[in-house]
Structure 1
Amino acid sequence: MKKILIIALLLTLGVRMAVAQKQWSLEDCVSYAIEHNLPLKRQDVLVAIKNLDQEMAHRERLPAVGSYFNGYSTFGHSQDVFGTIRRNDNFNSNMGINAEMTLYQFNYLRNQAKKATVEAEQEQLEKEVLKRDLTLKIVQGYLQVLLTQALVDAQDSAINFSVQLLDKAEKSTAIGATAPAVVFEAKANLAREKQQYQQYHKETQQAKLTLAQHMNYADYSALRVYDPLLESEIFKTGIRGTKSDLIQEAIRHNPILNKYENQLIGLDIESKLFKAADYPMVKGSASLGTTYFNAFKTANERPFFGQSKDNFAQQIAIAVTIPVFNKGRTKRQLQQVNLRKQEIGLLSENEKIQQIQILEKLQLDWKESKQQYEISTEAFSATKESLVYSRRSFMAGKVSIYDINNSKNNLIKSEAEMIRARYNTLFSLLMLHYHVSGDIKFSY
């Protein structure tokens, strides 16, 4: 029994460690966020509701069938047309089946079914809008975590370098080769590096917390963000096509614009439904039934089933309702539809303008960030080489610790600028690709 408990405990710990050590790619984060996002789950419920509305609307064209049974008794006196007063005790009943359906109403039922289909599509498009907004937040939060993690790693290297300088200064001061002020300067510089490290570490934890909240992930501290292929895939992939082609692709994949187009289709159908109120409505009905009557004291009263069989009858009826005057309601409803079409047209045009502006900004940011990244990479390489020579000179006692600290600070600043430029380029290119293709995957 103890062995079983120990094995179960080890398996549980192993699973927890595996979960805690999982490395999350960008695709993993987006998939998890979409799966656990409550507004998206609510939208799934709304889609299911609209699908049921659609089914009911299609079934409205079928005849409505019902059955009925009525029974009642009358007790007391009554006077006939000749003035004779007599007892009028009796029992009446009728039962049967009837069916009714609309034969014509300017295709009202068909258009009602089409409207239900459009509304179901509308809820699905609304879900796509929510997914798009959520994906943008995840991408931004994910790259922010990668950026702050890179800054932490760079600052950790700077701390190791400062520790080595402090060790060299302490040894030189111990043998009297350098003044004690050199040690204090090295300690002060190390403290500043640790302070900057803590600031970057704080920003990393805040970025993880923001990303975990967007993902609806419980333990942000266990979120290990790492995607080694992301950077190489983005940088080796270019955005092909002319500006007009990119705009057309972005418009085609924009769920907001697709939603507006779907709304216009729904308004066209709605206008047909309103027009149906000005057309005659023809309904047909059919019934099968029987009646029974019993005057109680009448001699030789026939039995229930026998009389019901003889009284069996069928009926077919057609009812026509012709509209005459509805106080101008239809005319004003159609005017409202036209105004709503104008509103959606303006919203759609505004969304297209915003989409073009976003693409232009992303293209500009991508090109400028890419140039800045190339320049900062060259500057970092040159500064790194300069620090190598400064360190050798410091070890040989030819330069002071102030000189090497100045070179090191320049390197740290240069590396931070290079890292920020790299992730600005990544973000701009990834966002540009997502807006154009509607996908975060690079599959060229």
Structure 2
Amino acid sequence: MIRKALFGFVIALASITSSSAQEVKQWSLLECINYAHENNITVKRQLLNAEYQANVLKQSKLNMLPNLNASVSGSFNFGYTWIQQEAQNVEVNTRSLSSGLSSNVALFEGLTRQNTIKKNQYLLMQALEDNEKTKNDIALQITAQYMQILFDKELLAVAKEQYETSKLQVDRTQKLVDAGSVAMGNLLEIKSQAAKEALNVTQQENNLNLNILTLAQLLDLENPLDFAIETPTIPELEAFTPAGPENIYQTALEIMPEIKSSEHYVTSSEYDLKIAKGNYYPTISLGANIGANANWLADDPDGYNRPLWEQFKSTRNTYIGASLSIPIFNRLQARNGVANAKLGLQDANYQLQSAKLALRKEIQQAYADATAAYKNFLSSEEAVDSYKESFRYTEKKFNVGLVNSVDYNVSKTDFTKAQSDLLQAKYSYILRTKILDFYKGIPIEL
């Protein structure tokens, strides 16, 4: 059931593409990459993480400022109070109101706040580099899929060309059979070959449409049926003479975001250690407070209550003071915090080494793949020239009846396979060289 639905979708995609080819926008590789960078959900989430780190950094800077807090409290007291002079309990209901304004600032905390600011700066830079790494991964993925579509297009063109050749050969053989010059078996063999090549055309069309759909889904397009890519002019392939993998690696160390991200993480871990060591030091803070209160009887027939603001003025008190806190024994929390920070720093260095090793291996593999692809391309070029001449010679002999249809079909199949191998080697070589250029800081473009 799934295969039938998928086949129906591919047929619909093929029909819509062929009927509205003039209306569909042709996307370049650069447009695909830029669109993905602006709309990809993973990239957007990575940007949110960078914004979060920016807020954390801002707050750590604001933590250097004094705080300022106001307070107001009120109460209502009711009940009986013993009056000694009158030797009796008297019901007295009172109300009270107090207010205050306080501020506090840390003068010294072992430089923990200053080091926290620097740590958060590097965490922000790490988040931004992680975002660049995500964008690079997406660009490489899109480039590979884009190349696959270009390969499929050329492969489809070869399949159609071979099918057209077979149709012409069917017509020619039919005339020879009608004239009695060729046996019917030759015609049946040629028709069988033409049928195989017609099926191959259909299969190549399906592969092309499915790979176009895959690229459209990588871009998260809402309507993949209205998507097509432009076919750029591929220049003549040049000889493979890049710098060695070690030279490319040294360049990549300076520009690859995954390396910069790991380096920023190491630096932030170093400040984590400084923050932990800051807990060994005493802390000095400065505080200030101003407050006042007022009380009055709820029932004051004799006018004993003083005005509220007059009471506030007369009860106002101000405090300014400094405090010193010296850590003596806190269950070894500071020592264990330093030990854990050292472990975190060591792990961050291991992560940096791991990132460098991974990058070195990726470049070595990309270099080896590019070298192999270039050799395959050269060999495939020679093979195509050889099989092309062989097929032409066999075709001429077949046309005059010196070669049977079986030998003709074998020669034609070999030539078609050689063309397919050449196209595969060509686009594999282009992709590998683009990957090497990417590691050298050269933008990906066709």
TM-score range, shorter chain: 0.7 to 0.9
Corresponding position of 1:182: 186
Q: Distance in 1 between matches of 2:210 and 2:430?
A: 20
Corresponding position of 1:41: 44
Corresponding position of 1:68: 71
Match of 1:150, SS? helix
**Equivalent pair of 2:248/2:439 in contact (CA under 8 Å):** no
Q: Distance in 2 between matches of 1:302 and 1:250?
A: 80
Task: Sort the Cα spacing of 1:424 and 1:322 in 2 relative to 1 into closer, same or farther, 3 A.
Answer: same
Corresponding position of 1:288: 290
TM-score when scaled to structure 2?
Answer: 0.87
Count of aligned residue pairs for this structure pair: 425
Task: Sort the Cα spacing of 1:82 and 1:280 in 2 relative to 1 into closer, same or farther, 3 A.
Answer: farther
**Between 54-63 and 385-394, the greater mean CA deviation after superposition:** 385-394
Shift of 1:394: 3.3
Corresponding position of 1:257: 259
**Equivalent pair of 1:54/1:116 in contact (CA under 8 Å):** yes
Match of 1:278, SS? coil
Corresponding position of 2:388: 384
**Equivalent pair of 1:24/1:227 in contact (CA under 8 Å):** no
Which of 112, 129, 132 aligns to 1:125? It is 129
Alignment of 1:350 with 2:354, yes or no, is: yes
Shift of 1:164: 0.4
Task: Sort the Cα spacing of 1:399 and 1:83 in 2 relative to 1 into closer, same or farther, 3 A.
Answer: farther
Q: Write out aligned runs for 1:34-433 (5 A).
A: 34-78=37-81, 87=90, 88-229=92-233, 231-232=234-235, 235-236=237-238, 240-295=242-297, 297=300, 299-433=303-437
Shift of 1:71: 1.8
Shift of 1:84: 6.7
Q: Distance in 1 between matches of 2:83 and 2:121?
A: 61
Q: Distance in 1 between matches of 2:338 and 2:147?
A: 49
Shift of 1:207: 2.3
Shift of 1:279: 1.8
Shift of 1:168: 0.3
Match of 1:71, SS? strand
Unmatched 5+ stretches in structure 1 = 1-15
**Equivalent pair of 2:163/2:197 in contact (CA under 8 Å):** yes
- Which amino acid letter does the alignment assign opposite residue 407 of structure 1? S
Q: Distance in 2 between matches of 1:300 and 1:248?
A: 88
Deviations 1:412-437 (A, max 9, x none): 01101111111111121111111232
Deviations 1:148-207 (A, max 9, x none): 222111111110000000010111111222111121111101111122223333332332
**Equivalent pair of 1:239/1:433 in contact (CA under 8 Å):** no
Task: Sort the Cα spacing of 1:360 and 1:77 in 2 relative to 1 into closer, same or farther, 3 A.
Answer: same
Q: Distance in 2 between matches of 1:125 and 1:80?
A: 77
Match of 2:99, SS? strand
- Which amino acid letter does the alignment assign opposite residue 193 of structure 1? E
- Which amino acid letter does the alignment assign opposite residue 121 of structure 1? M
Q: Distance in 2 between matches of 1:83 and 1:155?
A: 120
**Equivalent pair of 1:21/1:222 in contact (CA under 8 Å):** yes
**Equivalent pair of 2:29/2:445 in contact (CA under 8 Å):** no
TM-score when scaled to structure 1?
Answer: 0.87
**Equivalent pair of 2:240/2:374 in contact (CA under 8 Å):** no
Corresponding position of 1:32: 35
**Between 181-190 and 329-338, the greater mean CA deviation after superposition:** 329-338
Task: Sort the Cα spacing of 1:237 and 1:21 in 2 relative to 1 into closer, same or farther, 3 A.
Answer: farther
Shift of 1:82: 10
**Equivalent pair of 1:254/1:438 in contact (CA under 8 Å):** no
**Between 329-338 and 379-388, the greater mean CA deviation after superposition:** 379-388
- Which amino acid letter does the alignment assign opposite residue 373 of structure 2? S
Unmatched 5+ stretches in structure 2 = 1-18
Task: Sort the Cα spacing of 1:18 and 1:161 in 2 relative to 1 into closer, same or farther, 3 A.
Answer: closer
Shift of 1:56: 1.5
